[in-house]
Structures are given as C-alpha cells and as structure tokens.
C-alpha cells in the first residue's frame, strides 16, 4: 500500500513534505539565466532541490497552479518534475484539489494517476459530496495510489463554511468522518488508509479531537510556520510520532534568501531548512 510506504518514510526520514510550488521569481537570477525558457528553469531548479533533499524528506508535493500559470512550458516542467521525483523512489503528491462527479471525476483520476501527469497521491475536494470520491476508489484498491481529501484547511476563510455546525458537529468534522468511512476498506498494515486528509495545524484542541476521531486517517498538514501552526500542533496531529506529513514550500525553497550571497547555494540552504524543520518537530514530539 502506498500509504504504508509513506508511513515508513516518515519513520525513517522525518515529517517534511517539501512543496515544489515553484514560481519563476523564486529561482536565483544567475541560475535562471543559464536556461532559455521558463519550463527549463523550473525543472532545473526543482531537480537541484530534489537532489539535495531526497534522502531527508518523507515526500514531495507539487502544486499544479504554479506550472499552469506558465502555460505549456510550465505543464511540461510539472510533468517532468513528477517523473524525476518518482524515479528517485520518493512518493509525490499532485496538489490538484479536484472535486467533481461521475465521468468528469473519472477523467481527472485517469489524468493524474496515469499517463503524463502520473503521481502517487492527489489532493481532492469532497465538499461537493462524497460521490466525488467514488471514481478514484478503484485506484486506491490497487494499493499503488492514494489521496488526501480536504477536511479542515488552514486558511482564514475556512471558518466561512468548514466551522459551521451540522447536527451538533462542525462541517469539517462531518467531512472528516465521511472520509474516514469511505477509506476504511483501504487500511494497510500501518493502520492507515490510502485515503488521507488535509488537516491544518492551527489549533491544538481541534487537532486533538480530529486525531481521536480519525484514527485510521493519515494527515497532510499545511499551515506550519507562516500561517500560525507550530510544532506543538503538529505533535498533537500525529499518533505515536507518525500518521502525518507536514508541508512546507516557500520557507524551504527560499531559504537561501536568509543568507547574503546565498543564491549560488540555494539547494544547500533548502536542505538546511528541511533538516531544521524536522528537528523542531521531533523535539516537540519528544516533549509532548
């Protein structure tokens, strides 16, 4: 099961899900100047980051919007980035947040689990209803693919809908329970389902309730750092020091900007940021 593989990588290499959400202006100017097209620049930058960090991260997440914004060259870089990560033997999440029904969802599943844009995991949006998940289920049954469904996101606007109540529960709790129940048949030897959840790390009390309710659900955890989530919240969302990966994108990709003249060593500074993040989370788990 692909989620079992991710669980094992967390145990061996830590919690970092490195977001390759690469915008052209993240790339140091001197490095970018070596490549004639935006697609080549994106791919070359990503390859350097992956080469520097593949042994210390749990997985990578590639947000498709950064590549779509660069047109066909960007999508070629997206395709080739996914391939490069998978060739390294590291799980990769296509952050596409798809949420549709019937034949449309089936085509999305085909697009992101086979062919040019094949990934190991995708992100899904079930807020249109749990039937949006159905066309993806045959891929989970194979054991080779998985997904993370949006449950409680880390953006301020989450409270507009996700925090409203339904039959005495918050909407995100209802959605989380539905994701847990849909994924129950895909639980592997790690105790976690191939259908995970996106759960932001911005409140310790909420984190404790969600972890208790969704005991078979592996978490993809955004909100660390810039959005207010810290290592204490991360520790609460985990169970026995596992059960989730923590996404960080800009803080790692742009780590070189903290160091005067750091542009030439951007990959080394990315590695340093990832190592530091892992250590901070491990300390919080140790003392939680």
Q: What is the pLDDT of residue 154?
A: 84
Q: What is the pLDDT of residue 286?
A: 75
How large is the average pLDDT for residues 50-78? 98
d(CA 191, CA 169): 26
Tell me the CATH number at 36: 3.20.20.70
Domain count for the chain? 1
Return left, alpha or beta for 56; rule: phi > 0 is left, psi -120 to 50 is alpha, else beta.
alpha
Beta strands 169-170 and 165-166 are antiparallel
Q: Which of 97, 110, 169, 258 is catalytic?
A: 97
How large is the average pLDDT for residues 147-162? 92
Range with the poorest average pLDDT among 53-67, 141-155, 200-214, 239-253: 200-214
Q: In the beta sheet, which residues pair with residue 198? A: 150, 220
Percentage above 70 pLDDT, the chain: 97
Angle between helices 266-287 and 38-53 (to 10 degrees): 50
d(CA 221, CA 78): 22
How large is the average pLDDT for residues 23-45? 97
The string of pLDDT tens digits covering residues 193-204 is 999 999 987 777
Residue range of the domain that includes 164: 2-287
List CB contacts of 186: < 8 A, sequence separation 6 or more: 1, 3, 140, 141, 146, 193, 194, 195
145 catalytic? Reply is no
The string of pLDDT tens digits covering residues 114-139 is 999 999 999 999 999 999 999 999 99
The string of pLDDT tens digits covering residues 226-249 is 555 677 778 889 988 999 999 999
């Amino acid at each position: 099961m692909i989620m079992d593989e991710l669980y094992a990588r967390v145990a061996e290499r830590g919690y970092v899900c490195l977001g390759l959400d690469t915008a052209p202006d993240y790339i140091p100017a001197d490095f970018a100047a070596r490549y004639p097209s935006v697609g080549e620049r994106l791919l070359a930058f990503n390859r350097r980051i992956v080469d520097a960090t593949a042994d210390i991260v749990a997985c990578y997440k590639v947000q498709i919007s950064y590549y779509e914004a660069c047109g066909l060259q960007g999508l070629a870089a997206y395709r080739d980035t996914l391939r490069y990560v998978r060739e390294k033997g590291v799980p990769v999440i296509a952050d596409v947040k798809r949420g549709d029904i019937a034949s449309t969802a089936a085509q999305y599943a085909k697009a992101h689990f086979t062919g040019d844009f094949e990934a190991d995991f995708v992100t899904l949006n079930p807020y249109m209803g749990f039937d949006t998940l159905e066309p993806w289920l045959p891929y989970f049954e194979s054991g080779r693919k998985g997904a993370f469904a949006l449950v409680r996101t880390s953006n301020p606007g989450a409270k507009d809908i996700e925090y409203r109540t339904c039959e005495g529960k918050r909407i995100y709790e209802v959605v989380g329970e539905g994701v847990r129940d849909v994924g129950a048949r895909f639980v592997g030897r790690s105790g976690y389902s191939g259908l995970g959840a996106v759960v932001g790390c911005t409140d310790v009390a909420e984190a404790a309730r969600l972890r208790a309710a969704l005991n078979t659900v592996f978490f993809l955890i955004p909100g660390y750092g810039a959005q207010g989530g810290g290592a204490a919240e991360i520790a609460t969302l985990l169970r026995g020091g596992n059960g989730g990966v923590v996404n960080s994108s800009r803080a790692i990709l742009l780590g070189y900007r903290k160091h005067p003249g750091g542009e030439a060593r951007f990959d080394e500074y990315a590695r340093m940021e990832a190592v530091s993040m892992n250590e901070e989370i491990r300390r919080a788990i140790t003392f939680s």
